[in-house]
Structure 1
Amino acid sequence: MDNYLTFVCISDTHSQNYPLPPGDVLIHCGDFTKNGQKEEILAFIQWLIEQPFKYKIVIAGNHDVSLDTESYQSKLKQYHHKDSNFDDQELLQKLKDNCIYLFNSSIVIDGIKIWGSPYSLEFHTWAFQLKSENAEVFWSQIEEDSDIIVTHGPPLNHGDEVNIQGKLKNVGDEALLKRVLQIKPKYHLFGHIHEASGQTEQDGVRFINCCILSKSYKLCNKPFIFKLPKKQVIS
């Protein structure tokens, strides 16, 4: 029996199809649609069903607007889907029926705890927005014993560099970085910043921006793969 779990990690696929390498656990760090239309969500669900992973872990991202059911009817629908009419709660439930959907919550697989959240720092009128002044309190809910932390947005100085009018700027979440370094998981997985895909390390934590599309939405990066040993769970 294999004593390791193989993780295959992707983010920001925006309704594009792509082949995946084999593994045990698929993790998608959000933005699997362009703007969360019903047809896009249903197509993603069908794609998920077809993937031969034992475990499929998904968080939403800021583009998956119809899944932000707390803000969709009151704000996001008018802005993004003014002429659409579908049940956002029903759509979210259908996604949950076909994956492990993490919403500020965790799952334990073979003793490995994965905690996930769809939130990222506030940026225009998108989904799952977090004001920077609320970030420290918000991220305090990340569970202390998490082995893998999955967020849509990046932490500060890791996979968060963008070019703004010729100047490079780090746009990640400082409070998120602080919390991750307090917990010291083995991995922090995220996406959101297409042009900053890649891996970095700090204080023993491996940070991976899992975006597979470029800034211009071209498929340019391969999924990130790693293995972790299964933990013996004493009941």
Structure 2
Amino acid sequence: MKNLLWLFCFSLILISCEKNEDDTKDICTNNCTTIQGKFVTANNVPLANIMVSFTYRISGGELGGGYTRRIVKTKSDKNGEFFKDFYLQDKELGRLAPGYFTINIDDSKLSSNNYIKLGNNQSLGYAIYSIGRRDTIIEESFYIPKKAYIKVNLNNYIPQKEGDRFEVQTLFPCGPKVGQNTFLNSEYATGFSGYDNYKAVNLNNKLNVLVAESEKNMVRVISVKNGIASNIDYEINVPSNNTIELTYNY
């Protein structure tokens, strides 16, 4: 019992060694770094009230500890834009700095019924491993697709051996601006409807499959038949109020 009590107290000490600073209300007036960007949806319509945070983090070791400095907390305005100047400390600059930066996007205020949200109802985060100098502009813009569904029929599914399958996935513009996505002819990265979400389980299957409205989508039909796999992509454009119905045979 005494050993358990000692272990509990020691754990509390380790947790208390984690140092946190919140500098999100600081105003930078000189030697500033800038984070800026924009959130849009279909037809380049801006999205407001999406939260953006920027943090510097030094990971703790096996015995706990660590350090977090919250640097920026802001949100997109009515034009979908966000902008914040901030000051980086000397110890945070350069490739030899002990920590890394994270950008977190929180689009939880958007309706899950209307949008394909970036973090699947969770905060989306990714790392920047070093910033070399203060007069840096961090440009991060994002596309959040409007949600729609199409009907897909997967017919004549008769598996011949264990491991055979018949599935459909969709791929569409979603997420950060990458410059040129040649696969979808888009400025943004590729999102998709997920693995194992829309698959045949019976002889004939009628599925409502997630797509991005007012966008070019790729419908990927995946079949494994008698142990032999094949994937075929079909390009479709999904208008608002679509009545698209597609049929594929196993």
TM-score by length of 2: 0.25
Tell me which structure has the larger Cα radius of gyration: 2
Higher strand proportion: 2
Higher helix proportion: 1
TM-score by length of 1: 0.26
